[in-house]
């Protein structure tokens, strides 16, 4: 599972100006913002996606997206 932070419901509402999860998902799609819709019908968006769209430091975004190494079990 990823450790990247997801936007909260409050963040999604503030970003879109909408309150209903289906309306928020439509808005995200219309803006080309990658997201998934969870079983509870609320969209899930990683904060790094929004930061990159808003011009965050490219190196920080690349580092956040870099896959983490799996722990190694030494016997």
pLDDT tens-digit map of 23-67 = 999 999 999 999 999 999 999 999 988 888 877 665 665 565 555
Residue 6 has pLDDT above 80, yes or no: yes
Contact by Cβ (8 Å): 65, 48: yes
Distance CA 34, CA 10 (A): 18
CB atoms within 10 A of CB 13: 16
pLDDT attached to residue 14:
93
For CA atoms 24, 26, 31, 32, the dihedral sign is positive
Provide the residue ranges of all domains of the chain, joining segments of one domain with +: 9-65
pLDDT of residue 35: 95
Report, as an integer, the average pLDDT of 7-14.
94
Alpha carbons within 13 A on the beta-carbon side of 72: 2
The pLDDT of residue 74: 66
């Amino acid at each position: 599972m990823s450790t990247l932070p997801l936007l909260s419901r409050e963040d999604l509402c503030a970003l879109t100006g909408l309150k209903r999860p289906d309306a928020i998902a439509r808005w995200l799609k219309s803006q080309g913002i990658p997201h998934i819709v969870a079983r509870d019908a609320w969209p899930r968006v990683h904060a790094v996606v929004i930061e990159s769209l808003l011009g965050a430091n490219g190196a920080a975004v690349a580092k956040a997206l870099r896959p983490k190494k799996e722990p190694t079990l030494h016997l």
